[in-house]
Amino acid sequence: MQPIVKLAGIALMLLSLYFLGQNIMFTTSIGRYWWIDISAAGAVITLFLGVISLVFGNRDIKSLGWGLIFVAILLVFVSSGVVLKPTSLWDFFLSVTCMVCGWNLFRTGRLGL
């Protein structure tokens, strides 16, 4: 029964990412300046490397992963390649609820409501 509960927790966390992710658009366009497109691609690659190092790394690599994620966030703001559409309060509430309940199911096996 425990693996099914953990899978349900992972499914809820992925569902929460879906709810938030439907309001994020990655755009690619030819900008006036050449460094805009480079920083947009760099943000995606840096974020990917940061998440990989957080998931699979040891303690030293995890601190590097957090640094890479911070650099990726900075590159997103520099490149303006990510457009955040407005989200409703209901979508945000649903997403956070799914994330918290999924994490609690994954960690403890209970919803804890």
* Position 106 pLDDT exceeds 70: yes
Model confidence, pTM: 0.53
- CA gyration radius for the chain? 17
With beta carbons less than 8 A apart as the criterion, state whether 30 and 18 touch: no
109: left (phi over 0), alpha (psi -120 to 50) or beta: left
Tens digit of pLDDT for each residue in 28-69?
655 565 555 566 677 778 888 888 887 777 888 888 888 888
Q: How many CB atoms neighbour CB 34 within 10 A?
A: 8
